[in-house]
A and B are shown apart, each in its own frame.
Chain A
Amino acid sequence: MAETREQHDQSIKDALMKQNAKTVTVLSSLLAIQDSLGYISGRAIDQIASYTGSTLNDVWGVASFYTNFRFSPPGENFVEVCWGPTCHLLGAQGVLDCVLGELGLKEEGDTGDRKVSLKFNTCLGACSQGPLVSVNHKIIGPKLIGDANPKDFQNSVVKIISDLKKG
């Protein structure tokens, strides 16, 4: 069921009002909206501009700078694969290739059926457990799935992703 324009405006307004940043800025507003809507829409840009007393240009400028913001609704599931140097040495490229293959993608982006959005991450912050992927914001390393061996880990990740595609 598609959201009406009024509903969309209302969700943006709610996210703006409810943000728990102590100091409200263009960036804090963008983060709040991306967190609650999953993306930054054109309407969101308009509302942030008037809410923070900035120009549309300023808001677009900030939104296009930070690479976490996206401008179209995300897929149902969100997958990140780390390509930082530690994970790279521990076999991230193999994981990345499997994930891209399983999703039928050539680079980061959304699958055609919008089931999965894939993003590359420069470091998920738990390098000691690499190589890492994050599925719907849960970080998964080889130990979690009990696979010390890189090949097994790749297979488990492929399995998780194929379940997401079906789910």
Chain B
Amino acid sequence: MTSFDEIYSKSKSRYQELESGNKPWIRIGTAVCGEAAGSKEVVDRIKSDLRSLGVDANVSEVGCIGLCYAEPIVDVIKPGGPRIFYGNVNPDIASEIVKSYVSEDDYRPDLALAAMSESDVDGVMNMKDLPMWSKQVRVALRNCGNIDPMEIGQYIATGGYAALDKAVNSMTPEEVLKEVQDSGLRGRGGAAFPTGTKWSFLARSPGPVKYILCNCEEGDPGAFNDKGILESDPHSLIEGTILAGYASGASNGIVFIRHGHEGPINRTLAAIEQAYELGLLGNNILGSSFSFDMEVSLTGDSYVAGEETALMESIEGKRAMPRARPPFPAAYGVWGLPSNINNIKSLSYVPEIIAKGGEWFAGIGTDGSKGTAILCLSGNIKYSGMIEVPMGLTINQVIYDIAGGTPDGRKVKFLQTGGPLGGVLPDEKMDVELDFGAMSQAGAILGSGGLIVADERACAVNMARLLVAFCQYESCGKCFPCRLGMTNLIEILERVSNFASRPEDLELMTNIGQNMAAGSLCGHGQLGWNPVQSALKYFPDDFSAHMEEKRCITGQCAQQITTPQRTRSRWSPVQLLELKV
């Protein structure tokens, strides 16, 4: 049995060779955002150019560093040199970089995005001054874009699994639990429930077999940070999950991912396998008496499968419909055994919390919301991407100082936050702080961290209609207030946006929305009214223009929106008639 120190020193020396050895090190971001922008083509070009020029260099495919607006991103370290980032690289630019900088010594300031180094590099902005980077505090995202997610050694060399070693070999489960409780960490999956408290419920449940379920369903359109973490740094999730297991006496972990997202799935599977090989998973982890197993479970397309009890049904291979609570998952979870469900982000914080202490984490953020917020910025925005900033910054700071406002200087009209069950927040309200309480008071939950920016060309009725179309399509059909209510809401919103509304429609919508909130088992029905409610609250003029003046202020509603036919919904008898047995 090799000790952790031996594993660490081996990994460290290999990593030092990459970082400061005698060969250039080229890193290319190949997460899904990079891929959509063409990073695969860039990798191929770089490899073939190196071969034809006869240059010896290390090439790593890394995850997403979060500056998605500049994807594909390539960065190069030459022996003894700074780390220089190049943005918006296409195969031809990649060839230039290889020719001028990797094989010769011209670092091409004209192509460079920024440089990561202590001292300034002539003609290139320092990363510390890059608007999207300067305010970031990277805890859960610390490794994203820096290490190769398929190489466990790089994770270990940068401090990974040291917290696990410390926990299983020198701390009791109670001490680990206490650190997480002291950190004040609250769940990042939507409900913001204190993570330590949730673990303590599981710790009190009896039984040799207990589960930690890691929720990467991430059906929220506009959120890509959970998949981003798995694709860029799966080991921080795995280490966090093992620590959760140790603290709560669990024996098994399951990472729950929607099928079809090959990047996150393959990288997680590979990471789990490598962790087993090094004895970081399995029996007697790192020589301790603690044993823990992990696997990946895939689900089909269903938004509600991300809800914690529906998730357990889906792991059991059934229709992803929520269960009634109680019994709560800590007493009766997946396969009827005690379970704990956490979001990927929540768990990825844990290794750093154990390494640096709960108090350190609690020192970041606001009173009610400790730590950092991991946000996905997209829509009509200059710098889109995935960032991690301390809680307590205002939304204005995020949208204007960090993300540069809209690309063409148009006025921001609203922000859609927290996924389809969240709300819309008008420009005037954007001085609200990143804080779970403050955000929900403003009517826009922080949720899973997706922030979609809409400029003045967008119509609030149109957006409400799109979000309700999503919720209607995704209703699992178990509770009739949700199933029928969403269908009625979308019918009414279609009338409104086609300028054919009836006078009683506003009252009718409110009535339906309130009934859905009161009569549904899970958040889908309970919160499905949120987008319409907040649009009505903040943009009454948009609604009255459609309803009374029969026009759309922005003209967006003149265009039809095509969404999947209602008859295709999962609970529709029409679909079943189509099936041929």
Contacts and interface: CB of A to CB of B under 8 A. Distances in A.
The yes or no verdict on A and B being binding partners is yes
Interface of A: 21-23, 25-31, 42, 45, 52, 58, 60-62, 64-69, 71, 83-86, 88-90, 93, 96-97, 100, 107-108, 120, 122-130, 132, 137-141, 143-144, 146
Interface stretch (B33-41, B109-117, B339-347, B503-511): B33-41
A138 B40 CA distance: 11
B45 interface: no
A107 B564 contact: yes
21 contacts: A21-B298, A22-B297, A28-B297, A28-B317, A29-B317, A62-B318, A65-B300, A66-B300, A66-B301, A68-B300, A83-B561, A85-B222, A85-B466, A86-B378, A90-B380, A93-B561, A107-B564, A108-B568, A127-B378, A129-B71, A144-B37
Nearest to A123: B221
Contacts of B33: 126, 128-129
Kindly list the 7 A-B residue pairs having the minimum CB-CB distance in the complex, ordered from nearest.
Answer: A25-B317, A66-B300, A84-B221, A128-B68, A123-B221, A128-B384, A27-B317
Contacts, number: 193
B563 interface: yes
Interface stretch (B94-102, B142-150, B239-247, B571-579): B571-579
A108 B41 CA distance: 30
B470 interface: yes
Contacts of A58: 318
Interface of B: 32-33, 35-38, 41, 68-69, 71-72, 88, 90, 218-224, 227, 259-262, 295-303, 314-320, 376-380, 384-386, 416, 420, 450, 452, 454, 458, 463, 466-467, 470, 473-474, 476, 559-565, 568, 570, 575-576, 578-581
Nearest to B384: A128
B317 A125 contact: no
A141 B38 CA distance: 8
B317 A86 contact: no
A81 to B, nearest CB: 9
Nearest to B37: A143
Contacts of B581: 42, 45, 60
A161 B21 CA distance: 47
A157 B319 CA distance: 35
Contacts of A30: 300
Contacts of B565: 107-108
Contacts of A26: 317-318
Contact of A139 (B35, B476, B568): B35
Given A61-B319, A128-B384, A85 B36 contact: no
Contacts of B420: 85
Contacts of A137: 260, 262
A128 B474 contact: no
Contacts of A107: 562, 564-565
A99 to B, nearest CB: 10
Contacts of A86: 221-222, 378-379, 452
Contacts of B377: 128
Nearest to B571: A65
B37 A67 contact: no
Contacts of A129: 33, 36-37, 68, 71, 384
B36 A126 contact: yes
A52 B562 contact: no
A28 B227 CA distance: 20
Contacts of B222: 84-86, 123, 127
A124 B31 CA distance: 13
Nearest to A28: B317
Contact of A25 (B71, B261, B316, B450): B316
B467 A132 contact: no
Most buried by A among B295, B319, B563, B565: B319
A21 to B, nearest CB: 7
A145 B220 CA distance: 27
A66 B463 CA distance: 25
Most buried by B among A84, A125, A132: A125
A93 to B, nearest CB: 6
A137 B580 CA distance: 27
A139 B317 contact: no
A101 to B, nearest CB: 11
B300 to A, nearest CB: 3
B86 to A, nearest CB: 14
A90 B316 CA distance: 38
Contacts of B317: 25-29, 52, 62
A62 B221 contact: no
